[in-house]
Amino acid sequence: MLTEYVLSDADFTAISSLINEAAGITLQPSKKTLVYSRLVKRLRATGVDNFTSYRKLLEHDRAELTHMVEALTTNTTSFYREPHHFQHLEGYLRTQILPAARAGAPVRIWSAACSSGEEPYSTALTVLSAFASVPAADVKILATDINTSIVEKAKRGIYSAAAAERVPLSALKSHFDPVNDQPEPAFSIGKRVRELVHFRTLNLQGAWPMKNAFDVIFCRNVMIYFSQETQSQLWQRFANVLKPGGILYIGHSERVAGPATALLQNIGPTTYLRQTGGRS
């Protein structure tokens, strides 16, 4: 097959090093075709005529480095993806969190790789169902992602009818509004759900500015892009910002490893309980 550009092994290695440094993502040689297909659009957009010139551009152009990271990060998601997590979350909220919430205790949840928003909005819908008897509960859901453009899309909260198919009909009627100015049928996230979710751009490899611990953290299908060493460090960081008794939900192909296993107990499929002891 003829290609517009040539991605040499040297260029691939250099680009892999840059994204690892910027975002902690490890690109195996098997990803070379994916890298080519994702970045060829950036070469056209920047006007450079080969990958060697492009990776040299990346070395001094921070804005383009951000575009490169966004192009190479995957944003596959859906409403209620891994349904067992949301079933478990609703039970956990009702039995473990609701009594304290009734007394005014804050409830804090973090969607640590929120992509286009389906995960934190599904979480908010689950919260509203579990806390129906306490409509004024102090609940905040932090939703973060490294990809600025995908975070902006999540903030807009507009989804096609096909994307919303997995949303229960009762929730769709109560918490979504029809959108009439789209070429295809679409829905917009309603006010009550939006009020619970706060979007921010965040690189998990950088500083975490959050001051308070979380009751629940979702970090799903992200660790698979990191080295084992980086994974181990991040699991420990998540354990450190989870309240004792808090819950961590991870991706179906991921497993907690490293020192964090002393604090995070596997209690179900890709579901971990933060045990007492250690930093919190």
Other Cβ atoms less than 10 A from the Cβ of 87: the count is: 12
Compute the C-alpha angle 20/26/28, nearest 5°.
Answer: 135
Question: Rounded to whole angstroms, how far apart are CA atoms 174 and 47?
Answer: 48
Question: Rounded to whole angstroms, how far apart are CA atoms 152 and 208?
Answer: 20
Which residues have a catalytic role annotated? Answer: 38, 145
Q: Inter-axis angle of helices 62-72 and 148-156, to 10 degrees? A: 60
Q: Provide the sign of the torsion angle of the four alpha carbons 105, 111, 117, 120, taken in this order.
A: negative
Name the strand (E) or helix (H) holding 218: strand 214-219
Nearest to 73 by CA among 146, 152, 154: 146
Classify each residue of 144-162 as buried b or exposed e, where b means 16 or more C-beta atoms within 10 Å of its C-beta: bbbbeebbebbbebbbeee
Q: Inter-axis angle of helices 32-46 and 62-72, to 10 degrees? A: 140
Question: Rounded to whole angstroms, how far apart are CA atoms 51 and 4?
Answer: 11
